[in-house]
Amino acid sequence: MSLTQERAPIYEALEKFRKMRVVPFDVPGHKRGKGNRELRDFLGERCLSIDVNSMKPLDNLCHPVSVIKEAEELAASAFGAAHAFLMVGGTTSAVQSMVLTACKRGDKIILPRNVHRSVINALVLCGAVPVYVNPDVDRRLGIALGMKVPQVEQAIEENPDAVAVLVNNPTYYGICSDITSIIELAHRHNMLVLADEAHGTHFYFGENMPPAAMRAGADMAAVSMHKSGGSLTQSSLLLSGENVNPGYVHQIINLTQTTSGSYLLLSSLDISRRNLAMNGREIFRHVAELAGYARDEINRIGGYYAYSRELINGDSIFDFDVTKLSVYTLDIGLAGIEVYDILRDDYDIQIEFGDIGNILAYISIGDRKQDIERLASALAEIKRLCRKSRNGMMTQEYINPQVAVSPQEAFYAPKEQLPIEKTAGRVCSEFVMCYPPGIPILAPGERITQEILEYISYAREKGCQLTGPEDPKIRLLNVLEPV
């Protein structure tokens, strides 16, 4: 059969398999749900009937030759890439595979510091050395912005031996760098360009969106289909261009990705890709309209600021993702995380995250106008009932790091554990972050400052979910032993 975007090869193969009377003497042990009635009742018989093991009719994710290979070819075509790889370890796995493909021990990679922890995790694994481009900060909103092209150019001139440049496209808040110019600049210096597009799936299908990385000429991109693309949680895509060896990429993926790929996740990628290829333009037009409506309603309340393309300055904010509903909350005297908690606890509204000064409500393929109205109404009531003075509120969301040693060196070095309040001046050997969004406050190899300790204390006081350290209560921190 010919490959067209109307096809969904994995889904079709699973449907055919489901109708057969195969007696399973393989894993998984629930045997299509017959062995675990509670699980079957909870997830449904149809779901468990396709929770199967790799076999010839269904291909093998570790070495695709038939239906998975076809699904990957269709994904590559839909996203404008030379090759696509279905990922079942989330975009964390895709990002790590992307960095591990580009970098080896001792290689330099140029990147913004406001990256997801998965990027720095990859540096711990491969031993590459980060060259950070510290982004500008919007002093009112307290958020890190995009990389300026002159900043990237300076980093390249100072580090001509760097092998790659990594770009967030977009950031969690919707901020976009000038990725097209960065790609042209990096390629002139024979460097690969990697894009973390965890929040940019819709760029490939929507109208009037910021440039999608692969279509702008990037060499690799990690795309979270399960976010704005509508597939199941933990399903993702890794895209690559003509200048990247797909066989080597597959070897890298197989270093860490499971040999028991979930067909629930794989089929959700297949079906969602087909849906976006066939209907994406209409879907994301609707999403953008909903987000615009939400911004108008929230800004009409007063006290909040739902920001959008008016922030664009052609430089550190080259473009803005209009589907992102990012809202500044400090003018009502509440930290973003406080509004996040009130929405969940008092209004049964679960938004994506809250930080020191902002909240993000994720608008996507499954939202409706009445949901937006419920959110706006709740925010209006929170302002009326909970508003207070903003005196003493911390405003700075991003703190420039002081890098002392590489992430890998710090992570594996001899260390000692100290009370966190006694670590100022020492070099951290683990992560500390608020999750979500999962951007490290501290990463291995960075010097701990009093400003950072005050930020961590304030974030804990406001209710941010701190993660990363070995000590689950985050009262102790691992630091390098003094030399």
Q: What is the CATH number of the domain that holds 324?
A: 3.90.1150.10
Share of the chain above pLDDT 90, in %: 87
Residue 27 has pLDDT above 70, yes or no: yes
Instruction: Please check whether residue 14 lies inside any domain of the structure.
Output: no
pLDDT mean across residues, the chain: 95
362 and 417 housed in the same domain? no
pLDDT (0 to 100) of residue 254: 97
352 and 437 housed in the same domain? no
**Mean pLDDT along residues 381-396:** 88
Q: What angle do CA 318, 164, 211 make, to 5 degrees?
A: 30
Tokens of 223: 């795309």
- For residue range 149-175, list pLDDT tens digits in order: 999 999 999 999 999 999 999 999 999
Residue 116 has pLDDT above 60, yes or no: yes
369 and 460 housed in the same domain? no
Residue type, 125: L
Structural domains counted in the chain: 2
Instruction: Please check whether residue 103 lies inside any domain of the structure.
Output: no
Share of the chain above pLDDT 70, in %: 99
pLDDT (0 to 100) of residue 345: 97
- For residue range 201-210, list pLDDT tens digits in order: 999 999 999 9
d(CA 169, CA 167): 6
Instruction: Please check whether residue 187 lies inside any domain of the structure.
Output: no
Residue pointed to by tokens 């992430």: 407
Instruction: Please check whether residue 133 lies inside any domain of the structure.
Output: no
326 and 424 housed in the same domain? no
Instruction: Please check whether residue 115 lies inside any domain of the structure.
Output: no
Residue 397 has pLDDT above 80, yes or no: no
Minimal CA–CA distance to 175: which of 321, 295, 13?
A: 321
Instruction: Please check whether residue 400 lies inside any domain of the structure.
Output: no
This prediction has a pTM of 0.95
Rg (Cα) of the chain, in Å, rounded? Answer: 23
412 and 382 housed in the same domain? no
**Mean pLDDT along residues 119-139:** 94
* Of 24 and 318, the one with more pLDDT: 318
Instruction: Please check whether residue 222 lies inside any domain of the structure.
Output: no
* Of 396 and 315, the one with more pLDDT: 315
* Of 292 and 439, the one with more pLDDT: 292
- For residue range 90-104, list pLDDT tens digits in order: 999 999 999 999 999
Domain ends where: 338, 357, 386?
Answer: 386
d(CA 169, CA 98): 15
Residue 1 has pLDDT above 80, yes or no: no
Q: What is the CATH number of the domain that holds 429?
A: 3.90.105.10
Residue-range definition of the domain harbouring residue 366:
280-386
Domain ends where: 339, 357, 386?
Answer: 386
